[in-house]
C-alpha cells in the first residue's frame, strides 16, 4: 500500500511555515488521539500517520530530503543495517553528494541517540504546569573504561575501514559512505574488551530526570532536555 503525501496528510501546502505546520498537526492530533477515540482503528491510524508526517516535515533536514526524494528517502535500502532511520538521513545525503564531488567528510564522533518519553497529564496538570520525575532506561558512559571499551586502553586500526571510520557501499548509481559497523565509526578496534561493557564503551542504566512542564501545554508539545540523551560510542557526547 502506497503512503500518502505527508503534506496531504497534514492538509498543508509545500510552502507551509513552521507555525502553520504545528497548528495543522495539533488539530489532527487532537481530533484523532486514541484517548478521544477508544477502539477506533481508523482514528488510530490517522493519528500515527499525522505524527509521522509531522516528525519529518518539522525537521529542516528531513523535510529537504523528503522534498527531493519523497518517501524513498526513508525507506529500507538507503543505508546499512536495514535502511536509514530518520536520524541518519542528513548524513546519507551529505555523503552522497560529498562522494560525487570528490569525497566525504572527516570522521567525527557519533553522538548518542536522542531519548523520547511520553508523559500523560490530566487537564488540571496541563493547565497549571508541574515538575515531574521520569525514570528513563539509557546507555551511559562505562565508568570502568571511561567509554573507551578497552580494559587496558590498547587499540589498533580497524581492519574493516582501515582507520577511516567509514565504509563505502554501492546503492544504484550512488556510492554512499556510512559509519563502519565494526568499529562504530571510531576507526579503532579494541584488543582487550572491557569486562563491564563488553567493548561497547557504554552500559545500561536507569536514570531519573526532573522535567519541568510549563503551564498551558497542549497535546503533542515537546520539551527538549539538552545533553540528556544516550552516550555515543567510544564515550562520544549525548
Q: What is the pLDDT along the chain (238 residues), one digit of tens a residue?
A: 568 899 999 999 999 998 899 999 988 988 888 888 888 899 889 999 999 999 999 988 889 889 888 888 776 544 433 344 444 444 434 444 444 333 444 455 567 778 787 888 888 888 888 899 988 888 888 989 888 888 888 888 988 898 888 888 776 666 677 888 878 777 888 888 898 888 888 888 888 889 998 888 888 888 888 878 887 766 666 6
| Domains within the chain, CATH numbers bracketed | 110-151+193-238 (2.60.260.20)
**Alpha carbon separation from 27 to 21, 50, 218 (Å, rounded):** 10, 10, 11
* Strand partners for 169: 176
Per 3-state DSSP, the chain is made up of helix, strand and coil in percentages (nearest 5) of 30, 20, 50
Q: Which H/E stretch holds residue 53?
A: helix 41-57
- Rounded to 10°, the helix 18-32/41-57 angle is 160
Q: b/e for 133-160, b at 16 or more Cβ within 10 A?
A: eeebebbbbbeebebbbbbeeebeebee
Please report the pLDDT score of residue 182 as a whole number: 79
Give the predicted TM-score (pTM) of the model.
Answer: 0.41
Q: b/e for 187-216, b at 16 or more Cβ within 10 A?
A: bbbbeebbebbebbbbbeeeeeeeeebeee
- Angle at 121 (CA atoms; ends 118, 123), nearest 5 degrees: 150
Of the candidates 49, 57, 4, 2, which has an alpha carbon nearest to the alpha carbon of residue 28?
49
Please report the pLDDT score of residue 7 as a whole number: 94
DSSP helix/strand/coil, 196: coil
Q: How far apart are CA 9 and CA 4, in angstroms?
A: 7
Of the candidates 187, 178, 191, 196, which has an alpha carbon nearest to the alpha carbon of residue 233?
187
Please report the pLDDT score of residue 1 as a whole number: 55
DSSP helix/strand/coil, 21: helix
Q: How far apart are CA 22 and CA 55, in angstroms?
A: 10
Please report the pLDDT score of residue 49 as a whole number: 92
Number of Cβ within a 10 Å radius of residue 220: 15
Of the candidates 142, 126, 140, which has an alpha carbon nearest to the alpha carbon of residue 201?
142
- Those residues with Cβ within 8 angstroms of residue 217's Cβ, 6 or more apart along the chain or in another chain: 121, 126, 129
Amino acid at each position: 500500500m502506497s503512503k500518502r503525501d505527508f503534506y496531504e496528510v497534514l492538509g498543508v501546502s509545500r510552502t507551509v511555515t513552521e507555525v502553520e505546520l504545528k497548528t495543522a498537526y495539533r488539530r489532527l492530533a487532537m481530533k484523532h488521539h486514541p484517548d478521544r477515540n477508544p477502539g477506533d482503528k481508523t482514528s488510530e491510524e490517522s493519528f500515527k500517520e499525522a505524527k509521522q508526517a509531522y516528525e519529518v516535515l518539522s525537521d529542516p533536514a528531513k523535510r529537504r530530503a523528503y522534498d527531493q526524494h519523497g518517501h524513498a528517502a526513508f525507506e529500507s535500502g538507503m543505508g546499512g543495517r536495514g535502511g536509514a532511520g530518520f536520524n541518519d538521513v542528513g548524513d546519507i545525503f551529505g555523503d552522497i553528494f560529498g562522494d560525487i564531488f570528490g569525497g566525504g567528510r572527516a570522521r567525527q564522533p557519533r553522538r548518542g541517540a536522542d531519548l523520547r518519553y511520553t508523559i500523560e497529564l490530566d487537564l488540571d496538570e496541563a493547565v497549571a504546569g508541574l515538575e515531574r520525575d521520569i525514570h528513563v532506561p539509557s546507555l551511559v558512559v562505562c565508568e570502568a573504561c571511561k567509554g573507551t571499551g578497552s580494559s587496558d586502553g590498547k587499540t589498533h586500526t580497524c581492519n574493516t575501514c582501515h582507520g577511516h571510520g567509514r565504509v563505502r557501499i554501492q546503492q544504484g548509481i550512488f556510492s554512499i559512505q556510512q559509519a563502519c559497523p565494526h568499529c562504530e565509526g571510531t576507526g579503532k578496534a579494541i584488543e582487550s574488551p572491557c569486562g563491564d561493557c563488553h567493548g561497547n564503551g557504554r552500559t545500561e542504566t536507569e536514570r531519573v530526570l526532573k522535567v519541568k512542564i510549563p503551564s498551558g501545554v497542549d497535546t503533542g508539545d515537546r520539551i527538549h532536555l539538552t545533553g540528556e540523551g544516550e552516550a555515543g560510542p567510544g564515550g562520544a557526547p549525548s
